Amino acid sequence: MTVLKSNIEMYTIIEYLVDEKGVMSPRSDKELQKFNRLLLTLKPGMRLSAMFEVIKDDHSLVQLAKVHALIRELAHCTGNEFEDVKLEVKRKAGLTVKSKDSSGNPIEIVKSFADCSKDQLGMAIESCIQIGVEFGCILY
């Protein structure tokens, strides 16, 4: 996958496959479309950064980057603070547990994204997209 960031704070994650000749290409037509949409937003002189990572069975740095980028976009789109949006995403993804402290007062235990599995981060990414739909923010 590639994380591309332009100077306008837009993030795009594109998954690539490497063929037997070592040629890297987008994994699917959808990934190619995302890449082409990114290219259409670029202006002369803009700078990009890219991060490549081999995808493993557990969570990846790219998933962490993706979920944080989506939360940042949601915060911008909705006018809410990043940390507030992050907590709502974690709630929707089932990454929080309600409990009680030693005094019996209600508390919420919140799992860190860094401790999440690949599936849990996938649920968080999906939760971001669902929240975006609810607020009219198109995320991908």
Where do the structural domains in the chain lie, given as residue ranges?
A: 2-52, 61-135
Cα separation values, 115 from 37, 59, 91, 112, Å: 32, 9, 15, 5
Q: What is this structure's pTM? A: 0.62
Per-residue pLDDT band at 10 (split at 50, 70, 90): low
Least confident segment among 18-32, 72-86, 91-105 = 18-32
User: Looking at per-residue confidence, does 107 or 17 come out higher?
Assistant: 107
Cα separation values, 131 from 13, 21, 78, 95, Å: 19, 41, 10, 15
Distant-in-sequence, close-in-space partners of 3: CB < 8 Å, separation ≥ 6 = 11, 12, 13, 49, 50, 51, 62, 65, 66, 69
Asked whether 6 and 41 are in contact (CB, 8 A), the reply is yes
